[in-house]
């Protein structure tokens, strides 16, 4: 089974982004998302607002893909967009991860972990 990757990208809004009104922000975000969705079908991207909950980052982008080369191309496309290129956001941190692999473990592995008190 091919690997499934989730990449968490923590962003901090810049003064340029904050100076835009809601309509301008929505238009820019929609344009950026259309670049990813229309050209990179193996990549999904979701935006989360974290500004009320976190001091270090204001937004979290969640990328999901099974094709890392396509993710890299999608990220390059987004970097050439004003959203990250101007920048409206600064990248604080990128946290790549792989989908949980426990279900693919063998029955013997599950039994050994159960005996060890892991679950």
pTM: 0.78
Q: Is residue 116 classed as helix, strand or coil in its secondary structure?
A: coil
CATH number at residue 101: 3.30.70.1030
Q: What is the mean pLDDT of the chain?
A: 85
What pairing do the DSSP bridges indicate for beta strands 89-98 and 5-13?
antiparallel
Q: How confident is the model at residue 63 (pLDDT cuts 50, 70, 90)?
A: very high
pLDDT above 70 coverage of the chain, percent: 82
> Residue 100, Cβ neighbours under 10 Å: how many?
8
Average pLDDT over residues 35-62: 89
**Sequential DSSP letters for 53-102:** T-SS-SEEEEEEES-HHHHHHHHHHHHTSHHHHTTSEEEEEEEEEE---G
Query: Using CA atoms, how far apart are residues 53 and 41, in angstroms rounded to an integer?
Result: 31
φ, ψ of residue 58 to 5 degrees: the values are -105, -25
Specify the pLDDT at position 45. 87
Range of the domain at 78: 5-115
Number of structural domains found in the chain:
1
Q: What is the pLDDT of residues 31-46, one digit of tens each?
A: 988 877 789 999 988 8
Q: With a cut of 80, say whether residue 113 has pLDDT above it.
A: no
Q: With a cut of 70, say whether residue 96 has pLDDT above it.
A: yes
Average pLDDT over residues 19-41: 89
């Amino acid at each position: 089974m091919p690997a499934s990757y989730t990449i968490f990208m923590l962003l901090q809004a810049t003064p340029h982004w904050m100076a835009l009104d809601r309509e301008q922000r929505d238009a820019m975000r929609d344009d950026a998302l259309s670049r990813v969705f229309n050209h990179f079908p193996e990549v999904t991207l979701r935006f989360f607002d974290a500004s009320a909950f976190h001091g270090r980052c204001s937004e979290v982008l969640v990328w999901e893909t099974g094709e890392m080369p396509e993710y890299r191309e999608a990220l390059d496309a987004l970097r050439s967009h004003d959203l990250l290129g101007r920048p409206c956001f600064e990248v604080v941190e990128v946290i790549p991860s792989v989908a949980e692999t426990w279900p693919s473990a063998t029955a013997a592995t599950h039994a050994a972990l159960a005996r060890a008190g892991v679950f």
